[in-house]
Amino acid sequence: MTHDNAVAVTVHPAWLPDAALAPLRELPSAVLGSGPCLDTARAELGASPSASTADAALVVAAVSDVGSPASVGLTQLPEVPAGGHAIVRTADRTVVLGADGPAALRGLYAVVREVAVARLSGVAPGPGTVLSAPEQPLRMLDHWDNVAVHPVMGQVERGYSGGSIFYADGEVRADLTRVRDYARLLAATGVEAVGINNVNVHAREARLLTDGLGDVARIADVFRGYGIRIFLSVSFASPRLLGGLDSADPLDPDVAAWWASAADRVYAAVPDFGGFLVKADSEGQPGPFAYGRSHADGANMLAAALRPHGGTVLWRAFVYNHRQDWRDRRTDRARAAYDHFAPLDGTFDDNVVLQVKHGPMDFQVREPLSPVLAAMPRTRLALELQVTQEYTGQQRHVCYLAPAWREYLGFRLDGARSVASIVAGAGGGGAPAGGVAAVSNVGDDEFWTGHPLAQANLYAFGRLAWDSTLTAEDVLDEWIALTFAGAAGPDLARVRPALHEVMDGSCQRYEGYTAPLGVGFMVTPGTHGGPSVDGYEYSPWGTYHFADRDGIGVDRSSATGTGFAGQFPSPWRETYESVETCPDELLLFFHHVPYSHVLGSGKTVVQHIYDSRADAVEGLGGVEAAWESLADLVGSAVPVAFDARVRERLDGQRASAVEWRDQVRSYFWRKSGVKDASGRVVY
């Protein structure tokens, strides 16, 4: 595969190499019905449009295209779940039935996955019926791609994988082959929506809504064949920027009429358009506050424009004061989303989804879940994750995020329901359904994600959005089985444990040598890569750790601090309020404690900081040895270029981890004056 750069690039096939499809392509197959996704399924299998089902060992169909059970070789048809699929295996055939064309295609990819995993595990699926339905209605990836290269943020904001797959030289790419390959990868995980431009909407990106609609339609055409809708990020100030109006006041009838007309034009070009994604009154982006209006006023005005077309407004809750005075110990960025949005519960229209970052700060390695997720039972909510590794190693460090995401999705934030249940609108209470969204980590890099192993995060997002009960280990097995489907059986059996050694504990290891105990933001300002312990300590961004000679941490208790702990429902309100019951891994997020405070491990805070930084770096030895154990498979099971990139990234990870270790350990020695009891070198 190549794309329209000046230099042709061979693109790694990620988790859909030809070897993964080969076992199914070798079977006589039939795909019933027509439509973009069924045509895609037919192309994947090489099936003839008029192929008979009589001799087919594999049949794929939307259930509405099946005249009778006998027509697909079955005695009865299963009840296919809404949005999902059924896989029926008999002694002589496999039948994939989807609720519709996109669901049938996803069912086909599920069979590809099951065949690959069976080869990895040595256990083939037996006869019977497997039903699968998406847990989350919305399963979306947001691209922070700029059409024009931004002078500070570049082509892809917080992108660590090259340029955009959508845009080049200030325009939508003429060749969208790479976009098609990407849509295929996403369909195989269950992702069903993609936002194609940056939430920080600059002047060129804003025009996608107007004179760029022809190109937007071309992108939508590509995604449609894989059952994926597209969304546009729009500027709230568009009526002024693009329409020549004097105002963007959401209660101004002329503004509402402009947006209604804009929506009409979009749907005329893209009939299955998903809707608008909006970042408003956040980090300098315009919003309804300029007119004395609420976020509900702004979101509902856009919702009214989209409603005739069945469209949705995704309104981000990432709103806080980014011009904070660091001397002010009472203003707390962590409180901001709750303070702005919780009072508005029940006032948003039913085609508005409030998109809430998983934590109250900004995708830190360790922070609590956002209490907003439990505070708005009458509002459609979407959990927002970050696949791109802005604060988790920038795709230069191995950091497999699925264990953290599974923890978030399974966390019983209201004491009863999991976060996955809350945003899905399940588990009682009559809550409306939202979903899960994440910031993509893809660019035009030959490995899609910069670090080849970071592909596993993109894969895992789609799978966990589909089913949050999957274990992180099982998802990793799926990715390994598919990605290395071309490896010989004995070689695959070696790749599997080596990659688990590299990846299973990688997120905890990264946390181990970076910011400790939930304190966060000890990163280089601007780039957010590498250590700078005091980099944000006197900044306007509200990202402080308040280390002094006696202790460290932010007092967010209700009794003596900012009151953030009080925003949580029971039992977490009481748990986080007390130093005695607050989990150690979040201690410094909620409390300012002396360096001598004793953790559950029996170590003091400062000794934990010393030891955990050093231990985490030492743990990289096992990671490097595990990858080295596959050296003799390079050129066969492991592609040469894949190996070279992983080795380069592991070398960079070690150098960065050592810098993190030495800076953090030395900082706290110099700040506290407390010696490291282990006797290891501190600078």
Q: Which of 145, 362, 444, 662 is catalytic?
A: 362
Rounded Cα gap, residues 571 and 581, in angstroms:
11
End-to-end CA distance of the chain: 50
Q: In Å, how far from its chain's centre is CA 556?
A: 28
Burial of 292 (C-beta count, 10 Å sphere; 0-12/13-18/19+): exposed
Q: Which of 461, 455, 468, 448 is nearest to 503 (CA)?
A: 455
Which member of 26, 283, 628, 651 is catalytic? 283
DSSP tag of 453:
G
Query: What's the rounded Cα separation, in Å, for the pair 612 and 681?
Result: 14
- Angle among Cα 338, 331, 671 to the nearest 5 degrees reads 120
Separation in Å, CA 494 to CA 354, 489, 525:
44, 9, 41
Contacts of 212-216 with C-beta under 8 Å, sequence gap 24+, read 212/147, 212/172, 213/265, 213/266, 213/269, 213/270, 214/269, 215/171, 215/172, 216/172, 216/266, 216/269, 216/270
- As a whole number of angstroms, the distance between CA 674 and CA 192 comes to 53
For residue 571, whether the previous peptide bond is cis, meaning omega lies within 30 degrees of 0, is yes
CB–CB of 184/226 below 8 Å?
A: yes
Angle between helices 18-25 and 36-45 (to 10 degrees): 90
Active site residue 114: no
659 is catalytic: no
The 3-class secondary structure across 98-138, one letter per residue, is ECCHHHHHHHHHHHHHHHHHHHHHCCCCCCEEEEECCCCCE
Distance between CA 677 and CA 658 in Å, rounded? Answer: 19
Residue 180 vs residues 37, 184, 479, 543: alpha-carbon distances, Å: 13, 6, 20, 40
Separation between Cα atoms, residue 175 and residue 4, nearest integer Å: 6
Helix (H, G, I), strand (E, B) or coil at 649: helix
Handedness of CA 339, 344, 350, 351 (dihedral sign): negative
* Structure tokens that stand for 175 in this block: 């060749």
Handedness of CA 484, 489, 494, 498 (dihedral sign): positive
The catalytic residue among 390, 477, 511, 577 is: 390
- Answer for the pair 569, 371: CB distance below 8 angstroms, yes or no: yes
Give the side-chain half-sphere CA count within 13 A for 364: 25
CB 107 within 8 A of CB 86: yes
Tell me whether residue 283 is one of the annotated catalytic residues. yes
Task: Report the catalytic residues.
Answer: 283, 362, 390
